[in-house]
Amino acid sequence: MSQTPIYKRILLKLSGEALMGEDSYGINRATVERIVAEVKEVAELGVQIAVVIGGGNIFRGVAPAAAGMDRATADYMGMLATVMNAMALQDAMRQQGLVSRVQSALTIQQVAEPYIRPKAIQYLEEGKVVIFGAGTGNPFFTTDTAAALRGMEMNADIVMKATKVDGVYTDDPKKNPDAVRYSKLTFDEAISKNLKVMDATALALCRDQNMNIRVFSIFKAGALKRVVLGEDEGTLVHC
Ligand code: UDP
């Protein structure tokens, strides 16, 4: 198989859940190290990588932990959780010799640089991984939407949505053994069939801007690299 990547620049969306591994919350160090090793392999192919990290493993604005709270306050807490994940990810990258920068959509300048688009693009061009924390910086949004937004701002070739499942299925494969994985899917199909790709805001944004999404499993060893090499892995959601 060719080792030539089909993408020059990708936006990788990692959910907070991806960092949990088998734990029920928080950051599982071994899992983070394994994900970083996969990201490093792809970086070594010359692919420029921007990451949007979620925060659901620590705090979710619409979760029971936030019940009774003012929604915007809970969402700001969720965004701060993503910054913690970004820091954990950066630290694991540093330990594996992968140079990265964290940019936060909320200013917390002792901890992370603020989001500055041209600077982020410059880092990518220099071969550094850029990790975007704090989502869009706005409550009532999700990190899926941040991934769509930053993907477009970075002029990424594709948004890679890393999940626990290896693509989009006709039904929940855990509950229905007859569920079939889509290899390809249009945005309109995904929206009309209410398939779980990304939330509706993120999907609509990607559709309007012709930004394709590849859904794949981060728990399947080597899947990220296979996607980048153009192999049939996960599901491509396209216009
Ligand atoms: N969040 C937000 N605005 C954003 C991104 C995230 O308010 O632009 C908050 C929201 O409360 C969300 C939490 O941060 O529930 C964690 O993000 P998300 O649920 O997208 O993380 P993931 O599911 O990817 O782990």
User: What are the CB-based long-range contacts (under 8 Å, 24+) for 111-114?
Assistant: 111/83, 111/87, 112/83, 112/86, 112/87
Nearest atom in ligand 1 to the alpha carbon of residue 60 is 15
Q: Is 91 in the pocket of ligand 1 (CB under 6 A)?
A: no
Whether pTM exceeds 0.90: yes
According to the annotation, is 157 in a ligand binding site? no
Q: Is 133 in the pocket of ligand 1 (CB under 6 A)?
A: no
- DSSP summary character for residue 115: P
Distance from Cα 45 to the centre of ligand 1, integer Å: 30
Q: Ligand 1 pocket check: which of 20, 28, 60 to mutate, most ligand atoms within 8 Å of Cβ?
A: 60
Q: Is 60 in the pocket of ligand 1 (CB under 6 A)?
A: yes
Residues 180, 177: Cα–Cα separation, whole Å: 8
Domains and CATH numbers, the chain: 9-80+87-133 (3.40.1160.10)
User: What are the CB-based long-range contacts (under 8 Å, 24+) for 199-207?
Assistant: 199/142, 199/144, 199/145, 201/141, 201/142, 201/144, 201/145, 201/148, 202/142, 202/144, 202/145, 202/147, 202/148, 203/148, 203/237, 205/145, 205/148, 205/149, 205/152, 206/148, 206/151, 206/159, 206/237, 207/239
Contact 160, 10 (CB under 8 A): yes
Residues 233, 217: Cα–Cα separation, whole Å: 9
Distance from Cα 25 to the centre of ligand 1, integer Å: 15
Instruction: Note down pLDDT in tens along the chain; length 239 residues.
Output: 678 999 999 999 999 999 998 899 999 999 999 999 999 999 999 999 999 999 999 998 888 888 999 999 999 999 999 999 999 999 999 999 999 999 999 999 999 999 999 999 999 999 999 999 999 999 999 999 999 999 999 999 999 999 888 999 998 888 999 999 999 999 999 988 888 889 999 999 999 999 999 999 999 999 999 999 999 999 999 99
Question: Atom 21 of ligand 1 has which residue's CA nearest to it?
Answer: 54
Q: Which helix (H) or strand (E) holds 216?
A: strand 213-217
Question: Atom 14 of ligand 1 has which residue's CA nearest to it?
Answer: 78
